[in-house]
Amino acid sequence: MMKKRLQIGKLLKGDKRLEGETFVEYKERLKLEKSLLNDYGKGVYISPEQHQQDVKKKYVNKMYKMNEIISKKLLDKVN
């Protein structure tokens, strides 16, 4: 159980797409914010720093996977 309640409202950006945000980034951000809200409601402690780290890791992993897929498609076209 949590000892200290976080103020997660400061971390949330809302349902609207942010300026300069792609649709894929928007959907990913909504998914992460929903997960954060669910964890908060269940009493799972997630520090703001940990949340930011998780967001960055997921984003980097996703970009890496997308890069691999694009590279494979380009190689297939060349061959």
Mean pLDDT for the chain? 82
User: pLDDT band at residue 2, thresholds of 50, 70 and 90?
Assistant: very low
Contact predicate 11/49, CB 8 Å: no
Contact predicate 2/43, CB 8 Å: yes
CA geometry: angle at 11 spanning 46 and 67, to 5°? 85
- The pLDDT value recorded for residue 77 is 81
- The pLDDT value recorded for residue 3 is 53
Question: pTM of the prediction?
Answer: 0.49
Give dist(CA 48, CA 72) in Å, integer. Answer: 36
- The pLDDT value recorded for residue 14 is 84
Higher-scoring residue by pLDDT: 41, 25: 25
Higher-scoring residue by pLDDT: 40, 67: 67
